[in-house]
Amino acid sequence: MEVYREPRLLSAKVKKIKKQGKGVGFVPTMGYLHEGHLSLTRKAKKDTDYVVVSIFVNPIQFGAGEDLKKYPRDLRRDLSLCRNNGVDAVFVPASKTMYKPGFSTYVNVEGLTDGLCGASRPGHFKGVTTVVAKLLNIVNPDTAYFGQKDAQQAIVIKQMAADLDMPIKIKIMPIIREKDGLAMSSRNVYLSPLERKEALSLYRSLRTVKGLWKRGEKNTEKLARKMRDVILKEKHAEIDYVSIVDMKALKPIKRISGKALAAVAAKIGKTRLIDNIILG
Ligand code: AMP
């Protein structure tokens, strides 16, 4: 496994690999890897010949007062996980490499980024799409892999790739959960043992909604209220949003007819967590 810090060198390597007729898969991450990330690298390894993982805590997708500084980092452990999971190359750029003095070009997907996390984290998705566009340009993979855990991000990136004619397949993979149902996240380490228990309420609320929906409840106001009730039973929970939206435009819907996405963001203590479930 090789570790790259210079975009130029990684681009040259991938070019060489592709010349040999090999397929290249790419998994962008912010590191502090867990099974959620590794499910993506394993899928990439299954689909393609050469797997690149990037580890970069992207400063421009964090808002003021968010957790950029304390975001968990452990590069040694990440590299060893990559090595043991068939990753071929890891890209670990420095911030000053990605954002040189005078950097002034941003990628912004409109509309899809208005609601859900876009509403509570202004500028977040602009930071995400900008860095992912840069990474896709540097790596130039055949396929890039993203998790359904960040449902809005995945849809936004698909839109960006289509709008900008990027010749890259975007694959979205299922959410990997802890045994008790908590969606895996690098941020879960922030949780105290009590908060860790309370954090389960996010998935519990989604399962409750899925159960009610299966039994015929299609009214999203009622479903959302139920989700809120489940989460607000917890002492340290503060809801950012609970929303049922259509899968394409991510706009709130009154009644569920086709496929819908139930999504939640909540703070448990100081930790902001997200989760979602597909209805249909
Ligand atoms: P992050 O390091 O949190 O930016 O995540 C990097 C990629 O891993 C994104 O595409 C995430 O959606 C994906 N990911 C994170 N957690 C999970 C999970 N629990 N299950 C599946 N994919 C995940």
Q: Where are the domains of the chain?
A: 2-173, 191-272
Q: Is the CB of 61 under 6 A from ligand 1?
A: no
Best residue among 148, 149, 182 to mutate for probing ligand 1, ranked by most atoms within 8 Å of CB? 149
- pLDDT for 90: 99
Say how many Å lie between the CA of residue 150 and the centre of ligand 1: 7
Q: What is residue 18's predicted lDDT score, i.e. its pLDDT?
A: 98
| Average pLDDT value for residue range 9-18 | 98
* Residue of the CA atom closest to atom 7 of ligand 1: 29
CA of 217 to the centre of ligand 1 (A): 30
Quote the mean pLDDT of the chain.
98
pLDDT band at 161 (very low <50, low <70, confident <90, very high): very high
132 lines ligand 1 (CB under 6 A): no
Closest CA to 242 of 218, 214, 215, 209: 209
> What is the chain's Cα-based Rg?
19
**The pLDDT of residue 17:** 98
**2-173 with 191-272: one CATH topology?**
no
Strands 89-91 and 50-55: parallel
Name the burial class of residue 1, with classes exposed (0-12), middle (13-18) and buried (19+) by CB atoms within 10 angstroms of its CB.
middle
CATH topology of domain 2-173: Rossmann fold (3.40.50)
pLDDT tens readout for residues 172-202? 999 999 999 999 999 999 999 999 999 999 9
Residue nearest to atom 22 of ligand 1 (CA): 147
Residues 44-82: tens digit of each pLDDT: 999 999 999 999 999 999 999 999 999 999 999 999 999
CATH class of 191-272: alpha beta
